[in-house]
Amino acid sequence: MGSPRSIFRFILRFVLLYFLFLVFYVMGSMFISVPETAVSEGIVSETAVPETAESETAVSGPVVSEPGLVSPTSGLLIIALVNLMIIIPLIQTSRWGGWRLALILALSYYGAATFVVQLESWYFLTANTVDAQTLPRLFLMGIPPAFLFIPLAVWVLGKNRSTVDTTPNPAMVMPVSQWVWKLVAIVAAYLVLYWLAGYFIAWQNPVLRAFYGQPGPALPFFEHTLNTMRNSRLFILQIIRALLYVLCMAPVIRGSKVNPWWTALLVGAYLSLPQNIALILENPLLPSAVVRLTHLVETVSSNFIWGLFMVWLLHRKHHSLGDLFSTRIHS
């Protein structure tokens, strides 16, 4: 337990960071005015929706979003709190400091929370809901929190000195052959979790199926899967997104100075919450409240589990299959 003075100092820093995140988050949202361009076919980033002709629902005009789970003000406060509960540990548990930490974490955060997410907006929405003027703004929204807030947070938390922890670090140090099979396993796990959560959580909601233009009973799992696999572009996109997510998480795993179990929990939260917590707010791109809630449960659960799996494979070299499943801890 820290001294009263250190606790008070941390509280002051936390309050300052809370205010700064709100400022930069709102600043980012000003890049796009969603209600002016949104129509009812908007989808969220992480959802496994079949790409079929029937899924393109005709829209006659703008749609008013149903209220969110909480009020806009409460939602912003919750979003800021959730992000801070991830960003602060990412900074404090890093082996690095100074501009190295600020730049690496800013790129990682922008990639994981904005770029990889908006790739699905580009893929799914440009043909129906997002025009050429709106699309680049979706990518610009994440710049202030990532490239302005993150460096300031590094400074406020006292990690502004360019230091490097020189203690032995086994994370991600392994032969190329082991890297290859682990990367294949990580990508395969992402595809499996993405699809299973998409079908058994999201696609079981009749309101969600109707929203995506396929009302009525859900097709059996294998028939649904085969129908979607006829166009392989969706799965190619998800492979690319999985690889980009690994690239964003690599510096976090490599730079972590805490127990691998804590690193796994942090990476799981990092992969699941910043991208999806905004679903608690009303959103004209996703006007149905029950659809937003379903996607929230779907994506947070699947991405969190995947993050745990990723750290399990990458936190150190494994010498055998038995070693892979060993419960011993390597710090």
Summarize pLDDT for 223-278 with one digit per residue, the tens.
Answer: 989 988 887 788 899 999 999 999 999 999 999 999 999 999 999 999 999 999 99
Mean pLDDT of the region 277-289: 85
> What pLDDT sits at residue 281?
92
Picking from 76-80, 155-159, 228-232, 235-239, which range would have the lowest pLDDT averaged per residue?
228-232
Query: In this structure, which long-range contacts are made by residues 217-223, counting pairs with CB atoms below 8 Å and at least 24 apart in sequence?
Result: none
With b meaning 16 or more CB within 10 Å and e meaning fewer, what string describes 223-252?
ebeeebeeeeebeebbeebbeebbebbbbb
Given the structure tokens 């994506």, which residue do they identify? 299
Residue 319 tokens read as 């010498």
Report which of residues 211 and 240 the model is more confident about.
240
Q: Point out which residues pair with 256 in neighbouring strands.
A: 94
pLDDT at residue 126 tops 80: no
Return the domain boundaries, the chain. Answer: 4-324
Picking from 6-20, 38-52, 173-187, 267-281, which range would have the lowest pLDDT averaged per residue?
38-52
Q: Which class for 255: exposed (0-12), middle (13-18), buried (19 or more C-beta within 10 A)? A: buried
Q: Point out which residues pair with 94 in neighbouring strands.
A: 256
Instruction: Name which of 323, 280, 237 is nearest 75 in CA terms.
Output: 280
CA torsion angle 220 226 228 234 (round to 10): 130
- What would the DSSP string read from start to end of 39-69? -TT---TT------GGG-----S--PPPP-S
CA torsion angle 143 149 151 154 (round to 10): -150
> What pLDDT sits at residue 57?
38
Whether this prediction's pTM lies above 0.75 is answered by yes
Report which of residues 313 and 52 the model is more confident about.
313
